[in-house]
Amino acid sequence: MNMRSVLDISAYLIVGPENTKGRPVPEIVRSAVENGFTCVQLRSKTASAREMLRLCAQTADLLTSLGKSDEVALLVDDRLDIVLAAREAGIKVDGVHVGQKDIPASVCRKLLGPEAVIGLSARADALIDYVTHCDTKDMDYFGAGPLHATPSKPEAGRTPDGRMVTRSLDELTQLHRVSPLPVVVGGGVKAADLPALKACGVEGFFVISAIAGADDPAAAAHRMTSLWRRCPSHSKIKSKG
Ligand SMILES: Cc1ncc(COP(=O)(O)OP(=O)(O)O)c(N)n1
Ligand SMILES: Cc1ncsc1CCOP(=O)(O)O
Ligand SMILES: [Mg+2]
């Protein structure tokens, strides 16, 4: 199954060992996926390579046991080396999410091949101009944000001169209009944000703490995915040539 052709970024969980309040990462992933999450990214700024590989193996096994390995993409943040090593070990990891300072998407595409999923964080400055003119041939979606400042990533939205820039709903609506790729928005996103976010037309939301930090991750996941499904979306207006 080519995961790129069925990629669904509508409800996107990002999680690593530092986000779970001591609970096992696969336990959080299970709660999310059993309750409608459609994409999972393993992200850790502290875990060793071996720990990340173990997490990849556990999460891939979990998705298989849930019958979701051909539906729910399993991605790794930043670490192209982990994706390559996981593949070498026969672990089904579908791709990588890279940021502006990470290994370029073109290099990821070259090393991972045509079937891998590759996500890219859109630039924080001059966002609309960047997305309009960016060469998107190697990427599958844009990550954008933050919607709000967030303790999960305090530097998100911080400009070089120290200001905090969050994304307005108008900007996200415009982003959706100009983007040649699907857009997933995160950064401080909570259930209460979802109706307004969906109305912008963006294809999905990403969260860490709303699920991984919740007292009841399964209930939180159910609330978010059902809300997202229920809310009306703004459809893209295509200009006729
Ligand atoms: C879906 C998604 N969007 C944005 C990010 C942020 O990526 P990046 O800018 O590389 O920052 P880190 O996550 O590496 O701190 C993401 N991980 N996922
Ligand atoms: C990885 C990332 N990139 C921009 S904000 C963010 C963290 C989002 O975490 P939370 O959903 O807890 O605010
Ligand atoms: Mg990164």
Residue 116 burial class via C-beta count within 10 angstroms: exposed 0-12, middle 13-18, buried 19 and up: buried
**Which pLDDT band holds residue 237 (cuts at 50, 70, 90)?**
low
pLDDT band with cut points at 50, 70 and 90 for residue 2:
confident
Mean predicted confidence (pLDDT) in 170-182: 96
pTM, two decimals, is: 0.96
Binding site, annotated residues: 41-45, 77-78, 102, 121, 150-153, 188, 208-209
Could you report the per-residue pLDDT of 31-66, keeping only the tens digit for each? 999 999 999 999 999 999 999 999 999 999 999 999
Backbone phi, psi, residue 111, to 5°: -85, -25
How far is CA 55 from each of CA 29, 40, 50, 165, 213, rounded to the nearest angstrom? 11, 12, 9, 33, 18
Which ipTM value was assigned to this complex? Answer: 0.99
- Share of residues in the chain with pLDDT > 70 (%): 97
Evaluate whether 201 touches 236 at the Cβ level (below 8 Å).
yes
Domains of the chain: 3-230 (3.20.20.70)
Mutate to test the pocket of ligand 1, among 40, 120, 121 (most ligand atoms within 8 A of CB): 121
Mean pLDDT of the chain: 95
| Minimum CA distance residue for ligand 2 atom 1 | 153
Kindly give the number of the ligand 1 atom that is closest to the alpha carbon of 119. Answer: 1
User: What is the tens place of the pLDDT at every residue in 177-224?
Assistant: 999 999 999 999 999 999 999 999 999 999 999 999 999 999 999 999
